[in-house]
Structure 1
Amino acid sequence: MPRIPGVATKDAGPVLRLMYRFARKRFGAVPEPMTVSAHHLKLMIAGGRHELAVQKASKVLPPNVRELAVYRVAQQLGCSWCVDFGTMLQRLEGLDIERLQQIDKYATSPSYTRQERLAVAYADAMSTSPVSVTDEQVAELRKEFGERGVIELTYHVALENQRARFNSALDITDQGFTSGDACRVPVPADATTTA
C-alpha cells in the first residue's frame, strides 16, 4: 500500500471521477500513481496534460527504442509499478515483451538491435548519480537518430526518472497490468478500499 493512500472514487469530485473513468477505459484500471496524485488535483491535471502532450509529440524515435529505454530506467531504479505498466504498454504496442527478461544482457544479446543497445546504454548513463553520459555517446546517438531523436530520447529517459522516483518515494508498487489482472483502483463498489 502506498505511503499516501489514493483518493477513492466515492471521495472524488466530478472532475476527478471523469478522469478516473477516462483512465479506466484507456488502461483497464485507474493507475495508482494517479489516485495518489489526486490529493493535489491541479498537479495531477497538469501531469495528465503533460503525459498526453509528450505522447502526441513523440514521433521521431521508433516505439521499440523509446519504450525499451523507458523500461530500462524503471528497471534500473527499481520501480515495480513502472516496470509493470511499461511492460503492458510494450505488449499493447505489439512489441516482444519476452526479451525483457534478457535486458541485463542487452549489450551482447541478439534479441536487441544496435539502436536499442544505444538507447538502453544511454538510459543507464542518464540514470546514474552523477549522470555518466559521455560526448561520444551523444555523438553516436546523433548519427543514429538525429538531433530531434536525441532530444526525444533524453526527454523520455528524464521523464521516466521522474515517474520512477515519485512512485518509489511514495511506495507505489506494481498493480497487475502485466498479467492483465490490474486491480481496479480505486474500487468504486468498496467504500473502504482506496487501493
Structure 2
Amino acid sequence: MPRIPGVPTKEAGPLVRVLYWFAKRRLGAVPEPFSVLARHRKLMLAAARHELAAEKASKVLPANVREIAVFRTAQQLGCSWCIDFGTMLQKHEGLDIERLKQIDDYATSPAYSRQERLAVAYADALTATPVTVTDEQVAELVGEFGQEGVLELTYQVGLENMRARMYSALDLRDQGFTSGDACRIPVPADADAGQVRTPGA
C-alpha cells in the first residue's frame, strides 16, 4: 500500500471519475500515482496537464533515445513503478525491452547504439547527487542531437527524477503494466478485498 492511499472511484467526485475513465481508456488501468494525487485535485489536474503537454512537446529526440534515458533514471533511483510503466511504454513503441536487462553494461553492450549510450551516460550524470554533467558531455550531445534535442533530453530526465523520487517517497510500487496485470489494482478499494498486489510489492 502506498503511504498515502489513493481515492477509490466510489469516493471520487465527477471530475476525478472522468479523469479515471480517460486514464483507464488510454492505459488499460488507472495509474496508482494518479489515484494518490487525486487527494489533491488541483495538483492532480496540474500534473495531468503537464504530463500530456510534455509528451506532446517531446518529439525532437528519437523515441528509443528518450525512453532509454528515462528508464535509466528510474532504474538508478529504484522506482519500481516507473520501471514497470517505462518498460510498458517502450514495448508499445515497438522497442526491444529484452535489452533492458543489459542496461548496466550499456557502455559496451552491442544492444545499445552510440546515441543511446550518450543518453544513458547523460541520465546518470544528471541523476547523480551532486549533478556531474560536464561541458564536454553537453557539447558532444549537442553535436549529436542539436540544442533542442539536448533540452528535451534534459527536461525528460529531470521530469523522471521528480516522478521517481516522489513515487519512491510515497512507496508507490510496480503495478503490472508490463505483464498486463495492471487492472488487478486499477483504483484502491475498487477490487476485491482479498486482492493481492503485483509481484515485487
Task: Report TM bin, short chain.
Answer: over 0.9
TM-score where L is the length of structure 2? 0.93
Q: Which amino acid aligns with 1:157?
A: V
Runs of 4 or more consecutive aligned structure 1 residues displaced over 3 Å after TM superposition = 187-195
Quote the Cα distance in structure 2 between the aligned partners of 1:17 and 1:190.
Answer: 16
Matches within 5 A, 1:97-116: 97-116=97-116
SS in 1 for 2:56: helix
Quote the Cα distance in structure 2 between the aligned partners of 1:124 and 1:92.
Answer: 24
Q: 1:155 matched to which residue of 2?
A: 155
The unaligned stretches of length 5 or more in structure 2 are none
Q: Is the 8 A contact 2:88 2:177 kept in 1?
A: yes
Q: 1:3 matched to which residue of 2?
A: 3
Supply the RMSD in Å over aligned alpha carbons: 1.6
Quote the Cα distance in structure 1 between the aligned partners of 2:191 and 2:116.
Answer: 43
Quote the Cα distance in structure 2 between the aligned partners of 1:131 and 1:147.
Answer: 20
String of CA shifts for 1:134-177, please: whole Å, max 9, x gaps. Answer: 11100000000000000000000000000000100000000001
Cα distance change, pair 184–116 in 1 and its aligned pair in 2 (3 A): same
Quote the Cα distance in structure 1 between the aligned partners of 2:62 and 2:25.
Answer: 26
Note the C-alpha offset of 1:193.
Answer: 9.1
1:186 aligns with 2:184: no
Quote the Cα distance in structure 1 between the aligned partners of 2:179 and 2:191.
Answer: 23
TM-score where L is the length of structure 1? 0.96
Note the C-alpha offset of 1:185.
Answer: 1.9
Q: 2:119 matched to which residue of 1?
A: 119
Higher relative contact order (CA 8 A, sep 6+): 1
Aligned length: 195
Q: What percent of counterpart residues are identical?
A: 69
Q: Is the 8 A contact 1:6 1:186 kept in 2?
A: yes
Cα distance change, pair 119–190 in 1 and its aligned pair in 2 (3 A): closer
Matches within 5 A, 1:159-174: 159-174=159-174
Q: 1:44 matched to which residue of 2?
A: 44
